[in-house]
Structure 1
Amino acid sequence: MDGPLGRRLPALCLRPGGRSTALLLARVGHAGDVSGVSIEASGAAGNGVIAGHGVLAKLAWALRSEPGDVRPHNEDYAGAFAPTTPDDSWDRGPLVVVADGLGGHAAGEVASRVAVEAAIADWTRGAAQAPRQALRSAVRTANVAVYDAALESGRHGMGTTMTALTLAGHSGLVANVGDSRAYLVRGDECSQLTSDHSKVGEMLRMRLITPEQATNHPARSMLTRSLGADAAVQVDIVETDVARDDVFILCSDGLWDAVARDELGKIVSSVLHERGQTAVDVTAALVDLAIKRDAPDNVSAAVVHVLSDRPIPAAAGRRSLFRRR
């Protein structure tokens, strides 16, 4: 593959297919039940439909990205790095990433894909660091990759949001740039972990407008920070404690714009506890509901369900999973 993908990510096995190129990092190790390994190329425009899921000893994860019914191209992208070696030999924690591309479909779909691939590549091959530093490094590497890709392709305005989660010990760390969000559902409560880097987000924090006014504000889509805009970027890192049965939700604005925060908690509780289903079902329920409500943008969600009280090792094997169907 020509361009920044081929140059920056030599470890990726690329399968030709234009916009529907499928990819998978070499599989390493054997421990753990990790599903969603097969790769299929989607015929949809842009990044198409992306889906993947896995179950480890201490957590289950699932992700899904859909173009939706309003926009013809999918400019979102999502990916996950999951360990396949015994947890006592992990050297890098699990990583889940969601990105929402900017700059029109020709640029946005490239930016989000480049960013997620670059972040996961840096996460898997970078020098051993504390989780917070490693997470910040991954997002900064993604920023440089998008910035370089924009320069090389001449696509002015190309950029992307990014929200990324890793778990280490009894802590969850979230990095974000832009307005893709991370939520924590604990019991019946759902809290937003990230702050939107947008004009409306700033006005809300300054109490210049109310949440009700923000819903239809003309500046609601204007970002104040994104990957690819400059060679350097400020990355926000939020840390929270982690307990058994916690659920993290990472999502693009297509989801949070259509599904309210209190609804997220109710859906998680209904799917996991009342129906006894899994993270895959939570992800499907969230994305399907947003699309049913005519989400104004592409819809992406990643769900991580903590299954154990035991601390999660701050490290992981050498595998990244992407699936397109």
Structure 2
Amino acid sequence: MISISEINGISKQGVRENNEDYIKFYVDNNQSNLSRVIVLCDGMGGHAHGEIASKIVAESVFSTLDSKEVDFSEDDLQLALDNALIALNKANVYDDNKKMGTTLVVAVVNKKNVLVGHVGDSRCYLFDDDGIKLFRTKDHSKVAEAVEAEILTEEEAINSEYKNILTRCVIAGKTDVKIEIDRLDIKDKYRLLLCSDGVVDAIRDEELSEILVNRSINDALDLIDSKCQMKSHDNYSVIIADLKNDVYDEQSDFASSDETAIPAKENEVSSELCEEGYKLKINELYKELNYLNETHKRTIRIHSISWCLVGFVFAFLLCGAFSYFVLGRVYEVSKAERDAFYKYESCTSKMVSEMCEQKSKNDTTVLKREIKTQYELIKRQYNKERVKRNIKANEKK
């Protein structure tokens, strides 16, 4: 189960004439009784009575949510904002040209997760126990949209003259403001940080990460305070809450009792290495299969070419010998002999073509046997015609 183990915060006027920020959370002196609700508001400087708006909205949201004993839902956060708008509209009795308005960021702790809702450019961060940033809300501002569209960089957005132009805020006169909600998974020793844009003005995300590493909440707040005093041009407020997850803590205790147990992070690394090893093995097998496949294809091509050449040489010699035997007596060749020769030539050409398509030694042997058979048939036909011709010649004599 997730709970807050320690929490504290500061809200300072800075260089402004009055402090329009407001923070709300509950903790007793012994840090033994902590609420599950954290709220931070930043009254809008361009609107009248920003300090009143921030206080009204923060107190209303806190009172709506703090009375709930079961897990919070997204509807609960929207309901809290709706109630705050009603309270803000009732309090807007000042005869000013501009309506009262404020930003809002609220975090609520459930048994298995943390819900974060926000409107405007006040932020919520989540860091792990090594100070690594895991989450940050998206500002509802023109420059934030420009950064997301890759028109501006983060640094250019911070220094832009339009950085205070909001696209969404909690303002009197409206009743349909939507709160943006994120659901966060929490491990033991994670840290929530809520802050106004006065902190963002002075400290970058990377600096926040460094400030939180190996420092208690109070030490981190002191360092943030000193940096904001020197650099911030606005009111600045920040709340830091250390989170505890009993499920992960119990797993950690169980692992520590077993000498052979692998720490969580080492186990994660081992899993990654194992997965990488499998990928390497698969790549090696794939390359080997490709090599064998190419070798097999190359062998087939070489054998095909070799047998084709053998066939051509054999056919050439056979045709040459037979042509010499027949063409030497071409002047005596009868029509039947010419037909037999043409038939042999056609069969030989066909068999040579078939020989080029052979893929094994046995197939070529069969084809050679067929060629020899054809040769014997044509030879007998030739001899038969020669005998007839000799008989006719003798009869004439």
TM bin, normalised by shorter chain, reads 0.5 to 0.7
> Which deviates more from structure 2 when the two are superposed, residues 119-128 or residues 92-101?
119-128
Structure 2: unaligned runs, 5 residues or longer:
250-397
**Residue in 1 aligned with 2:12?**
66
Q: What is the Cα deviation at residue 232 of structure 1?
A: 1.7
**Residue in 2 aligned with 1:297?**
234
What is the percentage of aligned positions where both structures have the same residue? Answer: 29
**Residue in 2 aligned with 1:282?**
220
Is the 8 Å Cα contact of residues 188 and 245 (structure 2) preserved in structure 1? yes
Amino acid of the residue matched to residue 232 of structure 1? D
Amino acid of the residue matched to residue 223 of structure 2? A
Within 5 Å, give how 1:86-235 maps onto structure 2: 94-103=36-45, 107-125=49-67, 130-150=72-92, 152-155=93-96, 156-186=98-128, 187-229=130-172, 230-235=174-179
CA deviation map 1:232-279 (0-9, x unaligned): 2010001111111111100000001111101111111031xxxxxx32
Higher relative contact order (CA 8 A, sep 6+): 1
Choose which of 7, 17, 21 in structure 2 pairs with 1:76.
Answer: 21
CA deviation map 1:59-110 (0-9, x unaligned): 2111110001x212100000014599xx9xx9x9610111000145861110
Q: What is the Cα deviation at residue 144 of structure 1?
A: 2.6
Amino acid of the residue matched to residue 64 of structure 1? I
**Residue in 1 aligned with 2:191?**
247
With normalisation by structure 1, the TM-score equals 0.68
Amino acid of the residue matched to residue 248 of structure 1? L
Is the 8 Å Cα contact of residues 191 and 261 (structure 1) preserved in structure 2? no
Report the Cα distance in structure 1 between the residues aligned to 2:221 and 2:196, rounded to whole angstroms: 13
Measured at CA, do residues 160 and 306 of structure 1 come closer, stay the same or move farther in structure 2, by a change above 3 Å? Answer: same
Structure 1: unaligned runs, 5 residues or longer:
1-55, 272-277, 313-325
Q: What is the Cα deviation at residue 133 of structure 1?
A: 2.4
Within 5 Å, give how 1:35-74 maps onto structure 2: 58-68=4-14, 70-74=15-19
Is the 8 Å Cα contact of residues 66 and 298 (structure 1) preserved in structure 2? yes
Amino acid of the residue matched to residue 73 of structure 2? P
With normalisation by structure 2, the TM-score equals 0.56
Amino acid of the residue matched to residue 262 of structure 1? E
Is the 8 Å Cα contact of residues 65 and 80 (structure 2) preserved in structure 1? yes
Bigger radius of gyration among the two: 2
Indicate the SS of the match to 2:51. Answer: helix
1:237 matched to 2:181: yes
Query: Which structure shows the higher helix fraction?
Result: 2
Indicate the SS of the match to 2:177. Answer: coil
**Residue in 2 aligned with 1:20?**
none
Amino acid of the residue matched to residue 61 of structure 2? A
Amino acid of the residue matched to residue 208 of structure 1? I
Q: What is the Cα deviation at residue 226 of structure 1?
A: 0.6
Indicate the SS of the match to 1:224. Answer: coil
**Residue in 1 aligned with 2:378?**
none
Is the 8 Å Cα contact of residues 58 and 306 (structure 1) preserved in structure 2? yes
Q: What is the Cα deviation at residue 126 of structure 1?
A: 6.1
